[in-house]
Structure 1
Amino acid sequence: MAAAALALFVGMMLLTGALRTLIQRRRTGDSGNRRTLSPRGSLGWSALAATDIGYLTVGVGGPLAHWLGLPPLSGLQHPPVQMLGAVLAVMGILAVFGAQMALGASWRIGVDDHERTALVTTGPFGWVRNPIFTAALTAFLGLALMVPNLVALIGWVLALSGIQTQVRLIEEPHLQRVNGEPYARYAARVGRFLPGLGRLRTDRHAATVDRNDRDAHGGRHG
């Protein structure tokens, strides 16, 4: 299963990273990558770095640790668990790509405070506000279950921490600031990562942004 997990990780990076970027560039003339705009050491930079390190730790570190002799966690070392992991990984990878494509021209990696893109609230974004991250966490949980050692599970927790930081402290405040009440209504109706969970409270005073901010730039990320 370690070889299969590594192969799925490489396939995921090619599909949701390289291919999606190529599609974005061909359709819009822009890669959609804004991660370099976050100053090194900033909260946004740290959140993305933690997520990337977590992904690599699961997708590469887990299989390598297995081949180097790190024993699996006994409670998870069962063929049905590993098969479930493979199913979750494949479904998660396809769901990530599908959600990325649903964003269309609004797809971004990272945040640019000086850019505005359409706020997408339909398709998978009508079920949860961050379906790309939900699907990615599902895929990497599946990869971790395929090679259920301590390294892989630590990597998944690190990725989860990075994503939570990116969404809660970077993207949500940015989207609420630049989109104002439409985003507040959307966030009050749709869950953050799971349907119905993590909805933001409606607060007209907090949701009504200064009209000058309405002319600022925003969009969807992930």
Structure 2
Amino acid sequence: MAITALILFITFLVLVGGVRTWIQVRRTGDTGDRREAARRDPVQRRIDGLAAMGALALGVASPVAALVGLGPVVESSLVEVGGLVLAVLGMVATFAAQLVMGDSWRAGVDPDEQTTLVTSGPFRLVRNPILTAVLVTCTGLTLMAPTVVGLAGLAAVVVANQLLVRRVEEPYLRRVHGEDYLLYAAAVGRFVPGIGRLK
């Protein structure tokens, strides 16, 4: 299952990075990539670094470690198959949520830019469906090659996503969308329906 996990991780990067960017360029003439602006913010830069290290650990290092003999934390074909199902569902959900964002989709936060506040589709259920789906994908990939390396990578991704939302995205959305965002955030959960609503 480790080879399958590697293939799925690469497929995930191509789908949610490459294909989604290509669609954005075709629709708007703009890549939607704001990571250069994000890198100017030291907080975003550190969070992105943590997320990247975590993703590489669970998506590459853990499967490779399993292939060269690092034993799994849990040895169960049921866990591995469950991981495969979660990874595929998470990939599809991530891509679908990205598409729902339409022209507002961005990779990275440019503090000087204003986009439309998206509250439709899966954004009616949670404020961050893309990150929720990414975490489902990462959990699935970790379960496919359940090593300590993968678990550490998954923990890093979870922490990075929490920090990104709480320290970067939410303050940005409050500033840019004001009362509209506050009303939305008071009614809709952060990552899970009903949980993490802002008061």
Q: TM-score range by the shorter chain?
A: over 0.9
User: Structure 1 residue 38: deviation in Å?
Assistant: 2.7
Change (3 A) 1:39 1:6: closer
Structure 2 residues without counterparts, runs of 5 or longer: none
Aligned to 1:14: 14
What is the identity, as a one-letter code, of the residue corresponding to 1:11? T
Aligned to 2:71: 71
The alignment's TM-score, normalised by the length of structure 1, stands at: 0.88
Greater Rg over alpha carbons, structure: 1
Aligned to 2:110: 112
Aligned to 1:192: 190
Match of 1:167 among 165, 168, 193: 165
User: Structure 1 residue 68: deviation in Å?
Assistant: 2.1
Aligned to 1:95: 93
Aligned to 1:126: 124
> Residues 139-174 of structure 1: CA distance to partner in whole angstroms, max 9, x if unpaired?
010000010000011001001111111100000011
> Residues 43-87 of structure 1: CA distance to partner in whole angstroms, max 9, x if unpaired?
0111111112211111101111112221111xx211111111000
Greater shift, 36-45 or 12-21, is seen at 36-45
Contact 1:106 1:118 in 2 (8 A): yes
Taking only the aligned residue pairs, the percentage that are identical comes to 48
Distance 1:110 1:60 in 2: 23
Distance 1:151 1:172 in 2: 30
The count of residues paired between Structure 1 and Structure 2 equals 199
Distance 2:32 2:126 in 1: 21
Contact 1:48 1:163 in 2 (8 A): no
User: Structure 1 residue 41: deviation in Å?
Assistant: 7.2
Give the superposed CA RMSD: 1.0
What is the identity, as a one-letter code, of the residue corresponding to 1:9? F
Distance 1:5 1:177 in 2: 39
Structure 1 runs, 4 residues or longer, greater than 2 Å off: 38-41
Aligned to 1:26: 26
User: Structure 1 residue 39: deviation in Å?
Assistant: 3.8
The alignment's TM-score, normalised by the length of structure 2, stands at: 0.98
Distance 1:55 1:79 in 2: 23
Q: Aligned to 2:101, what secondary structure does the other structure show?
A: helix
Distance 2:81 2:39 in 1: 41
